């Protein structure tokens, strides 16, 4: 019986560099294309653990084929791997070193990691449209910030941002069309949209996440967004709580904007003002409201029923 291997893969657009935690073979390089990957995967014992960084899109083919080949697949947050490499004294950074760090990480930490579940073709299409919209929004913000205060380019900036707005609107339209191709996410988004403050973008973002990841409870959802407070205590000292920001920054941005809009509504204003009355800043109060709204959205997802304001526990 073959021994289960713990494998780390450094992925880029052209190649995969593979290392084994047990050093069963020397690090090797494989072309990042279907035929080469499939051939290599057939040489591995079923049930082996294979981990890689999340890279946007470059890792998707490997993750999909590895799942089909019967391997345990883990797609890991690059921030976690960077911190892990520092903790074990890895000073340099090469493709081989990165693959070895990933292999060591999955060998020791696999019990604490969530196994990757390959998305359907429709789920992948939806995720890609969402990522593309996020990039366009960032591009628009960067452009506006960098050229602000230059009167000589004001007219051109206005034209450029108007063009980007039209492009963003088109991608949003395509996103909603892709959402219709994922019935579970579409139904969930429709119910989440009944919650005051969640528009098409916010409801789609959460619906995609809820139907892709098997969250055990709302605390896990909050942690995945990076809105969870991180303690900083030692002995008798109680440090200031800060957000972990462990998760997709775009999800945090969308949820924060949803909460900022919701704070002005009749339904959510009392809750927001109650946080402000505690002496919290507007940003902190908005984050707390965002957490509350995410929990409510998760409850709506679990119950499969539309939002009922009477169950909030406070009165508008």
CATH of the domain at 16: 3.30.420.40
The answer to whether 27 touches 8, Cβ cutoff 8 Å, is no
Confidence of residue 2 (pLDDT cuts 50, 70, 90): low
One domain for residues 153 and 57: no
Residues 6+ apart with CB under 8 A from 305: 191
Q: In which region does residue 114 sit, left (phi positive, over 0), alpha (psi from -120 to 50) or beta (all else)?
A: beta
Neighbouring-strand partners of residue 234: 237
Quick check: is 236 in a domain?
no
CA pair distance 98, 94, nearest whole angstrom: 6
What angle is formed at CA 218 by the lines to CA 214 and CA 221, rounded to 5 degrees? 60
- Relative to beta strand 242-243, strand 237-238 is unpaired
Q: pLDDT by residue (tens digit) across 168-226?
A: 999 999 999 999 999 999 999 999 999 999 999 999 999 999 999 889 999 999 998 98
The pLDDT, as a whole number, for residue 39 is 95
The mean per-residue pLDDT over the stretch 32-58 comes to 92
The mean per-residue pLDDT over the stretch 96-115 comes to 93
The pLDDT, as a whole number, for residue 1 is 41
One domain for residues 302 and 214: yes
The answer to whether 247 touches 222, Cβ cutoff 8 Å, is no
The pLDDT, as a whole number, for residue 314 is 59
CA pair distance 311, 296, nearest whole angstrom: 10
The answer to whether 33 touches 60, Cβ cutoff 8 Å, is no
The mean per-residue pLDDT over the stretch 244-273 comes to 92
Q: In what order do the strands lie in the sheet with 15-20?
A: 28-31, 15-20, 6-11, 49-53, 72-76
Domain hosting residue 37, numbered range: 6-112
One domain for residues 10 and 75: yes
With a threshold of 0.75, does the pTM exceed it?
A: yes
Residues 6+ apart with CB under 8 A from 223: 244, 246, 247
Q: Token pair 């339209």 is at which residue?
A: 173
The pLDDT, as a whole number, for residue 272 is 96
Is the pLDDT at 316 greater than 70? The verdict is no
Closest C-alpha among 72, 176, 186, 64 to residue 119 = 64
One domain for residues 130 and 32: no
One domain for residues 89 and 145: no
CA pair distance 163, 253, nearest whole angstrom: 22
CA pair distance 95, 110, nearest whole angstrom: 21
One domain for residues 198 and 300: yes
Q: pLDDT by residue (tens digit) across 79-90?
A: 889 989 999 888
- Relative to beta strand 233-234, strand 237-238 is antiparallel
Q: pLDDT by residue (tens digit) across 276-303?
A: 999 999 999 999 999 999 999 999 999 9
Quick check: is 237 in a domain?
no
The mean per-residue pLDDT over the stretch 255-262 comes to 96
The pLDDT, as a whole number, for residue 312 is 81
Residues making up the chain, counted from first to last:
316
CA pair distance 123, 235, nearest whole angstrom: 47
Please give the mean pLDDT across all residues of the chain. Answer: 91
Q: Token pair 């902190």 is at which residue?
A: 284
Tell which of 87, 112, 137 closes a domain: 112
For 18, phi then psi, to 5°, come to -115, 135
The pLDDT, as a whole number, for residue 6 is 95
Question: Which runs of E-coded beta strand occur in 61-208?
Answer: 72-76
What domain count does the chain have? Answer: 3
Q: Can you say how many angstroms the Cα of residue 21 is from the centroid of all Cα atoms in its chain?
A: 27
Rounded percentage of the chain residues whose pLDDT exceeds 70:
97
One domain for residues 206 and 313: yes
């Amino acid at each position: 019986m073959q021994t289960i291997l713990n494998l780390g893969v450094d992925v880029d657009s052209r190649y995969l560099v593979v290392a084994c935690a047990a050093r069963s073979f020397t690090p090797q390089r494989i072309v990042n294309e279907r035929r080469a990957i499939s051939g290599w995967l057939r040489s591995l014992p079923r049930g082996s653990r294979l981990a890689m960084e999340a890279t946007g899109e470059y890792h998707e083919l490997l993750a999909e084929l590895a799942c089909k080949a019967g391997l345990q697949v883990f797609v890991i947050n690059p921030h976690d791997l960077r911190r892990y490499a520092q903790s074990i004294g890895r000073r340099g950074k090469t493709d081989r070193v990165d693959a070895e760090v990933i292999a060591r990480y999955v060998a020791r930490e696999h019990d604490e990691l969530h196994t990757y579940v390959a998305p359907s073709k429709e789920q992948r299409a939806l995720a890609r449209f969402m990522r593309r919209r996020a990039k366009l929004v960032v591009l628009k913000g960067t452009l506006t910030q960098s050229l602000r205060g230059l009167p000589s380019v004001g007219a051109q900036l206005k034209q450029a941002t108007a063009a980007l707005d039209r492009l963003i609107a088109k991608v949003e339209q395509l996103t909603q069309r892709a959402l219709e191709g994922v019935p579970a996410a579409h139904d969930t988004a429709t119910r989440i949209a009944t919650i005051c403050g969640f528009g098409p973008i916010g409801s789609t973002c959460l619906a995609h996440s809820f139907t892709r990841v098997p969250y055990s409870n709302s605390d896990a959802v909050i942690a995945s967004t990076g809105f969870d407070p991180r303690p900083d205590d030692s002995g008798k000292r109680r440090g200031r709580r800060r957000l972990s920001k462990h998760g997709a920054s775009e999800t945090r941005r969308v949820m924060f904007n949803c909460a900022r809009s919701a704070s002005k509504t009749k339904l959510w204003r009392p809750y927001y003002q109650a946080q402000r009355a505690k002496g919290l800043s507007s940003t902190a109060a908005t984050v707390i409201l965002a957490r509350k709204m995410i929990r409510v959205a998760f409850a709506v997802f679990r119950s499969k029923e539309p939002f009922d304001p009477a169950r909030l526990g406070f009165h508008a």
